[in-house]
Chains A and B, each alone.
Chain A
Amino acid sequence: MADRVHLEEESCGLLLELEHILDSDPLIDEVGFIHPTQLAALIGVVDCDSSGDLDTLKFFNRDHKLGISTQILFPLYKQAKIIFFDEIERYKKQTGISGIWGDETSLQRCKSTLDELEIGVMKHSKVLLLLSADLATAWNSRRAIVLKKDTLSMYMDELRLSELILSYSAKSDQAWSHRRWVIKRIVGKLPNLQEVIGKESKLVERIAERSKMNYRAWNHRCWLVSYMTGEQVVYELKNSRVWAGLHVADSSCFHYRRRLMMRMLEDFCAKNASVSVGSSSEIYDIWKEELEWNKLLIKRYIGREALWLYRRFLSLHWLRDFMTQLDSVIFLDDELHLLHSCSIIPDSDFDDFQAQAMYSTTYILWLARQLSRSHAIVLRQKLQVGDMKDLLNSVCPQRSFFCDMLEE
C-alpha cells in the first residue's frame, strides 16, 4: 500500500516535470522515446554503470529537442490519463452549469473554475497526445476549447503541436486530420492563406522524406490542392518534380502529380468550355513535358511499377483530351516503340528487366482496353492480339486473361 502511494506520487512528479519542460520551451520541435543508456550518453553522464543511476534519468531537453526515457512511459501515461479524464468530466459538468446559472457572482466563480479547467485540459491532453498520438478524445477536447476561444494564436499552436507529433508519428491519422480541421477554421481569418498552404505542402514533403510512401501525408497534400490558386498548382507541379524524380518508387507522390494535373485540366475546361485542349495552351505543353519526363524515368529506372501506372494515366488523358485522330496515330506508334524496347529481356539483371517487360506489356493492354472506340481500333490494329498473348504468357503467365478482355 505504502509502495503504491509512493509510486503514484512519483508518476505525478513525472507529469509535472514534463509539463514544466513543455511550458518553458514552447519551441520544442522534435520528440523521441529513448532508452536510459542512450539518454545517459546524450546528457553526458560519464559514469553510469549501475542501473540505479540510469533510473534517475528521465528527460533530455536541449536545442528544442525533447527525449523521454522509455523507462517512465508507462507510469507517465497512466498518470496523465487519470488526470485528463477526471478533468474532462469536470469540464463537461461545468460547461453545462455555466450555461444554466444566471446570477453574476456564481457566473464569475464558474468562469474562473472553467478557465482553470481549460488550462488543465490543454496541458494534460498535450502530454497524453505526445505519448499516444491517436487518442481521439484528447484531440476532441482541444478542438472544443480552441473553438470556444477562437483566437488565431491558439489555432497556430495547434498546428505546431500536430507538427511536433508528426515529427515522430508521421502516420497519425488524428494529427493529420487535426491540421485539416485547423486550416478550415482559419481560412477566413488569414490574409496570407496561400502562404500557409505553401508551407503546409512543404511540410508534407519533409515528412514524406523521412516516412516513405506515407498515404496519410500525401492524402493531406492532395487535400491542399483545392485551396491552391492556378499559379500555385503550376508552381507545385514544377517544384516537386525533382523530389519525385528521386523517389520513383513512391507511387503516392505520382498520385499527387495526377491530382495537380487533373486540377489544371478541370480549370482549363471550365474556363474554355471545350472538350479538347488545343496545342497552343500552357497545359498542352505541361502535359507533353510530363509524358517525356516520365519516359525518361522509365528508361533510367528499370522495372518501376509506379512510373508505369503514372504513364497509364498520362497517356489515357493525353489521347482522350488533347489528341486529334491523326496525332494519336503518331503517339501510339511511339508507345509501341517504347513497348518493344522495354520487353527485351537481357540475360543480366533478370528481375528488373522481367518486371520492366511485364509493366510495359500490361501498360499497352490496359490502354487498349480503356481507350475510346476510335483510338482503341487504331491501337488494336497495330497490336497483333496473338503476339500480345505470347508476350503476356512469357512475362506474366498468371495474368494471361488480360488479353481476353481485348477480344470482346
Chain B
Amino acid sequence: MGEFAADRHVKYILSVEKRKDDFESVVMEHLRLNGAYWGLTTLDLLGKLDAVDADEVISWIMQCQHESGGFGGNIGHDPHILYTLSAVQVLALFDKLNVLDVNKVASYISSLQNEDGSFSGDMWGEVDTRYLISCFSPVKNKLLKNLSYDRFSYIAICCISILQRLDSINVERAVNYIVSCKNVDGGFGCTPGGESHAGQIFCCVGALAITGSLHHVDKDLLGWWLCERQVKSGGLNGRPEKLPDVCYSWWVLSSLTMIDRVDWIDGQKLVKFILECQDTENGGISDRPDDAVDIYHTYFGVAGLSLLEFPGVKAIDPAYALPVDVVNRIFFGR
C-alpha cells in the first residue's frame, strides 16, 4: 500500500485549471463550476485553499450567474440548479456568501419546485406552451414531474439550507416526494419506481438529514444494501454487479455515516483501495487502480478518506459535502 500523496494531489489540482488547449479539456467547459467545487473542496480538505486566488475565483463565479438568480456551469451557459449549488458551495468555502443576493438565488430555487414537492433541474422541466416566446427568459411555472430528479431535491435543499432560507420552499412536500422514491430494498431511485443507486441514495439521505427527516429511513435495511456494495478488493460499487469505483467511497460512505452504520463496511480495506488508485508520481486519483486520474475522482477519494478519519485530511460533513469547519461557520458563526 502506497502512502497518501497529498502534496502531489494539490499540484495536480492546480495544474488542471491551466489546461485549456486540448479537446478533452474544452468539452468539459460547460461544467467548469462543478470542477471548481471538486478541486477547491479537495484543496480545503488538504488545508491548501490559500494556494488559489480567491478574488479571481469569486469574480469568475459571479459572471456565471444568470439574471434569474441561477448559475450556469460557465460564463454564457444556461443556468441549472446543479451549478447553482456548486457556486454557493464554493462561495461558502471562501466565506464569501455575502456577495450573493440571497433572495434572488432562493427565489430561483423555489421557482423550480413542483406541485408534488419535487424539483426540476432547470426551466426545461416546463412543458406549458404559453411560454413559447419567453422560453429564453426565466419562467416561474408549474413544472412537469417526470423531468425532475431526486438529486435535484437534494441540490435544492442543500443549497437553500446553506443560504438559510429553508422556509422559501415547501419542505414537507419535498420530503414526501423523496420518500415516494424509496424502494423495497431500502434504497432510493431518481424517480418513484427508479432503480436504487448509491448516488441517488446519498442525495435522498442527505436531503432527509438536512431537513431532520431521517426517521423515514429504515436504517438497517438501507445499511444492508449499502454495505453489500463493498467488494473483495475493498472498494465500493454503486449498484449490484458493478466494478468498484472510488467515487462511491463518498456516495456510499457518506450515506452510511448519516444513518450511523459506517462500521458495517471494512474501513481499512477501503482506505487501501483508495490509496491504490493514486497516481503517486503526478498526483490525482482515478476510479480504479491503474486508470487515468481526474479531478472528480480525486475529490471523492479525498472526501472518502476524510470520512474514514485519515490523518492529514480535514473532516467533511456527510450531508453538506463541505468541510465541517465551513458548515460550522455558516450555521454557528464559527
Do A77 and B26 touch across chains, with their CB atoms under 8 A apart? yes
A252 touches B195 (CB 8 A): yes
B residues engaging A (CB < 8 A)? 21-23, 26-27, 30-31, 72-73, 76-78, 80, 122, 124, 127, 129, 132-133, 135-136, 144, 146-147, 184-185, 189-191, 193-195, 197, 220-221, 224, 227-228, 230, 239-242, 264, 266
B264 touches A401 (CB 8 A): yes
Q: Is there a chain B Cβ closer than 8 Å to A279's Cβ?
A: no
Interface residues of A in 369-408 (CB under 8 A from B): 369-370, 398-399, 401-402, 405
Q: Which of B21, B185, B191 contacts A312 (CB 8 A)?
A: B185
Cross-chain contact of B220 among A262, A317, A369 (Cβ < 8 A): A369
Q: Does A223 count as interface, using CB distance less than 8 angstroms?
A: yes
Q: Which residues of A contact B (CB under 8 A)?
A: 70, 73-74, 77-78, 81, 85, 91-92, 95, 99, 131-132, 134-137, 140, 143-144, 147-148, 150, 177, 180-181, 184-185, 213, 215, 218-219, 222-223, 225, 249-252, 255, 259, 262, 304-306, 309, 312-313, 316-317, 362, 366, 369-370, 398-399, 401-402, 405
B133:A99 contact, CB within 8 angstroms: yes
A137 in contact with B227 (CB, 8 Å) = no
- Please, which residue of chain B has its CB at the minimum distance from the CB of A259? B193
Question: Is B220 a contact partner of A405 (Cβ separation < 8 A)?
Answer: yes
B200 CB to nearest A CB, Å: 9
B127 nearest CB neighbor, chain A only: A184
Minimal beta-carbon separation of B222 from chain A (angstroms):
12
The distance from the CB of A249 to the nearest CB of chain B, in whole angstroms, is 5
Report the minimal beta-carbon distance from B197 to chain A, rounded to whole angstroms: 6
7 additional A-B residue pairs with CB within 8 Å, beyond A148-B135, A181-B124: A74-B22, A81-B26, A143-B135, A184-B146, A184-B147, A313-B184, A399-B227
Q: Which of A78, A259, A305, A398 contacts B240 (CB 8 A)?
A: A305
For A213, the chain B residues whose CB sits under 8 A away are: 239, 241-242
A250: B residues at CB distance < 8 A? 241
- The 9 A-B residue pairs with the shortest CB-CB distance, nearest first, are A255-B195, A132-B27, A251-B240, A144-B135, A74-B23, A73-B23, A137-B78, A305-B240, A137-B77
- Is A77 a contact of B27 with CB atoms below 8 Å? yes
Query: What is the distance, in angstroms, from B86's C-beta to the closest C-beta of chain A?
Result: 14
Q: How far is the CA of A313 from the CA of B196 in the complex (A)?
A: 13
Query: From DSSP, what is the main secondary structure of chain B's interface residues?
Result: loop
The answer to whether B30 touches A305, judged by C-beta atoms less than 8 angstroms apart, is no
Report whether A134 and B30 are in contact in the complex, using a CB–CB cutoff of 8 Å: yes
Give the shortest distance, in Å, between A302 (CB) and chain B (any CB): 14
Q: Is the CB of A222 within 8 A of B193?
A: yes
A249: chain B residues within 8 A (beta carbon): 241
- CB nearest to B82 among chain A residues: A136
- Contact B185 A309, beta carbon cutoff 8 Å: yes
**Closest CB in chain A relative to B149 CB, distance in Å:** 9
Complex: chain A residue closest to B261, CB-CB: A401
Instruction: List 22 contacting pairs A-B, 8 Å CB cutoff, sorted by A.
Output: A77-B23, A95-B133, A140-B78, A140-B124, A147-B135, A181-B147, A184-B146, A213-B241, A219-B190, A223-B146, A225-B193, A252-B195, A252-B239, A259-B193, A305-B241, A313-B184, A316-B184, A366-B224, A369-B220, A369-B224, A399-B264, A402-B224
Q: A73-B23, A132-B27, A219-B194 are in contact. Are A306 and B240 (CB under 8 A)?
A: yes
**Contact B78 A136, beta carbon cutoff 8 Å:** yes
The contact of B144 among A77, A184, A312, by CB within 8 Å, is: A184
CB pair B30 A147 closer than 8 Å: no
Residues of A within 8 A of B220 (CB): 369, 405
B189: which A residues are within 8 A, CB to CB?
Answer: 219
Task: Determine the distance from Cα of A405 to Cα of B144 in the docked complex, in whole angstroms.
Answer: 41
Q: Which residues of B contact A312 (CB under 8 A)?
A: 185
Distance of A305 Cα from B239 Cα, bound (Å): 10
- CB-CB under 8 A for A136 and B77, given A252-B239, A401-B264: yes
- A177–B121 alpha-carbon span in the complex (Å): 11
What residues of A have a CB within 8 angstroms of the CB of B23 in the complex?
70, 73-74, 77
- B122 partner residues in chain A, CB cutoff 8 A: 136, 140
Complex alpha-carbon distance, A398 and B229, angstroms = 13
> What residues of chain B lie closer than 8 Å to A85, measured between beta carbons?
76
Q: Which of A73, A177, A252 contacts B147 (CB 8 A)?
A: A177
* Residues in chain B near residue A135, CB distance under 8 A: 27, 30
